[in-house]
Amino acid sequence: MSHEINGFHAPGNDEIAYCAYLIWEKEGRPPGRAREHWLQAETQLTACRAHDGWTNGSHRGQEIAPRTMVAPGHT
């Protein structure tokens, strides 16, 4: 279950666990670093949510057009 932090929904345990697992795999599956990976995942996910909320205007209750990805060389 997620809760709100500064108006943004914090990531839930399942989401954090999956992200931590991906970090663990990316780092070569080192033993004994589960807590570090958990905290890193939680920090990354929370920062992404806060950034997305800020850039889409939800921090002011306003919506603006979402960002679109453009392939290099295709402006």
Q: Say how far apart CA 19 and CA 31 lie, in whole Å.
A: 17
Query: Residue 9 has what pLDDT?
Result: 77
Report helix, strand or coil for 57.
coil
pLDDT recorded at residue 50: 79
For residues 31, 43, 69, 74, the Cα torsion angle rounded to the nearest 10 degrees is: -70
Q: At residue 67, does pLDDT exceed 50? A: no
Long-range contacts of range 61-67, CB-CB < 8 Å, 24 or more positions apart?
none
- CA dihedral sign of residues 4, 63, 51, 6: negative
Q: Where are the domains of the chain?
A: 4-42
**18 pLDDT more than 60:** yes
pLDDT at 47 over 70: yes
Q: What is the mean pLDDT of the chain?
A: 75
Model confidence at 61: pLDDT above 70: no
CA distances from 32 to 3, 22, 71 (A): 28, 15, 40
